Amino acid sequence: MAHANWSFDTLAVHGCHQPDERTRAVSQPIIPAVAYAFPDTDTAAEVVAGQREGAYYGRYGNPTTQTLERKIAELEGGEECIGLSSGMAAISAALLAYLQAGDHVLVTRDVYGGTYNFVALTAPRFGITHSFVDCTNLEAVAAAVQPNTKALFVETPSNPLLTVLDLRALAGLAHSRGLPLIVDSTFMTPCLQKPLELGADLVVHSATKYINGHGDVVAGLVVGCKRIIDFIRKRITGDLGQNLNAWEAFLILRGLKTMGLRVRTHCGNAQRIAEYLQNHPSVSKVHYPGLAGHPQHHLAKAQMKGMGGIVSFEVEGGLAAGKKFMDSLKLAMISFSLGDPETLVQHPATMTHYSIPAADRLKFGITDGLIRMSVGLEDAGDIIADLEQALGQLQHKEEHAHGSKTG
Ligand SMILES: Cc1ncc(COP(=O)(O)O)c(C=O)c1O
């Protein structure tokens, strides 16, 4: 199908996706088969050796999952993609593709708690060491490279602080030291950011979030060159077994068709909410790349097509006030995860980033009062009304305590 000029939204609907040959079904068939029959032994050998397209055993690939993989590779602008059973499977597989015992990895400071755990707790058990480094500071990154450093891993914008990193500059620096750059682009989706075009070697996603977008699948994706993706398929996930199954690949293919619409609404709502929070007297700090005061606002505008749906903030009164605020919400739900249609709030210090020791959390800027909000697809006015009533509870408390209203 000729689609050289199709835009992103058209590719998200039609890319790598033809009606089923036998039934002419428009939506993608779910093929749960584990085993595939071959006409002869030579064909079987060619498929196993990767010399001929096809599936041969469920752990190494599946036709429904392959449709998703082709589609994501196309949307992300990469040669190949592999679908995996979770975002953490994608992150660990991407890192293990480059690292072995005796190697060192550089990781940006404020990363998702699961990534922190893998690098700080699990990888060392296999002889892999790490340094967390402030990747907004290129000199600090260059200084942290060790003779045995084998990869640079970043997340941008970061979870939960929305730090934006200069991918072109980091790719240049990594390549000048012979290192691959791996980027967790979960907060952006290929709709808003294309790390491979900026020089990254691998892109990883938790497809659990915006790519599927409906809060009913746990999945991950790695996109990059054929050599590395083949290695991950055969050696890493082939041996560790974190394959993505057909049913979940189907759900993601379904979610993908509305990704552009959804992501643009998330972004529009998040911008309105960040501006509302910034002007509220009970809010002391707001982290959102779409605000002019964000430290990397200009970089974000140059590197990203939209600012994403996550807003983090602190309320006056720290942890106790933050808890009261969250407990007072009526529309937004207290919940893990992000990128769902529902607005979700969570408290990183006791929830997603709980396993990071308090001293490290503070070093990374994750204060005890920080609240992360995944702005949903509800009407922005309704979300703001909910915030207004919950923040109002804090003002009542302050008035009660001090006999005056904060300015
Ligand atoms: C930025 C980021 N990367 C990776 C993950 C891990 O994804 P999963 O839960 O699909 O393993 C998460 C989960 O919240 C995340 O926020």
Structural domains in the chain plus CATH codes: 8-256 (3.40.640.10), 259-402 (3.90.1150.10)
Tell me which of 109, 115, 117, 209 to substitute to probe ligand 1's pocket, judged by most ligand atoms within 8 Å of the beta carbon.
209
Largest CA-CA distance found in the chain, in angstroms, rounded: 85
The band of 354, judged by pLDDT with boundaries at 50, 70 and 90, is confident
pLDDT in tens, 125-159: 999 999 999 999 999 999 999 999 999 999 999 99
Pocket of ligand 1 from Cβ distances under 6 Å: 86-88, 91, 112, 114, 155, 159, 184, 186, 206, 208, 218, 220
CA of 117 to the centre of ligand 1 (A): 12
Cβ proximity of 363 and 357 under 8 Å: no
Distances (CA, A) of 146 to 103, 104, 165: 9, 7, 21
pLDDT in tens, 205-216: 999 999 999 999
Cβ proximity of 92 and 209 under 8 Å: no
Distances (CA, A) of 26 to 22, 72, 207: 11, 19, 23
- Measure the CA–CA gap between 190 and 3, rounded to whole angstroms: 18
Indicate which atom in ligand 1 lies nearest the CA of residue 207.
10
- Measure the CA–CA gap between 35 and 58, rounded to whole angstroms: 7
Whether residue 119 is predicted with pLDDT greater than 90 in this model: the reply is: yes
Whether residue 92 is predicted with pLDDT greater than 80 in this model: the reply is: yes
The pLDDT score that the predictor gives to residue 407 is 26
Distances (CA, A) of 112 to 134, 278, 402: 15, 24, 38
Active site residues: 59, 112, 184, 209
CA of 112 to the centre of ligand 1 (A): 7
Of 28 and 313, the structure prediction assigns the larger pLDDT to 313
Residue type, 41: T
- Measure the CA–CA gap between 59 and 36, rounded to whole angstroms: 12
Work out the end-to-end distance of the chain between its first and last CA atoms, rounded to an integer number of angstroms: 61
The pLDDT score that the predictor gives to residue 293 is 97
Q: Looking at ligand 1, which residue's alpha carbon is closest to its atom 15? A: 112
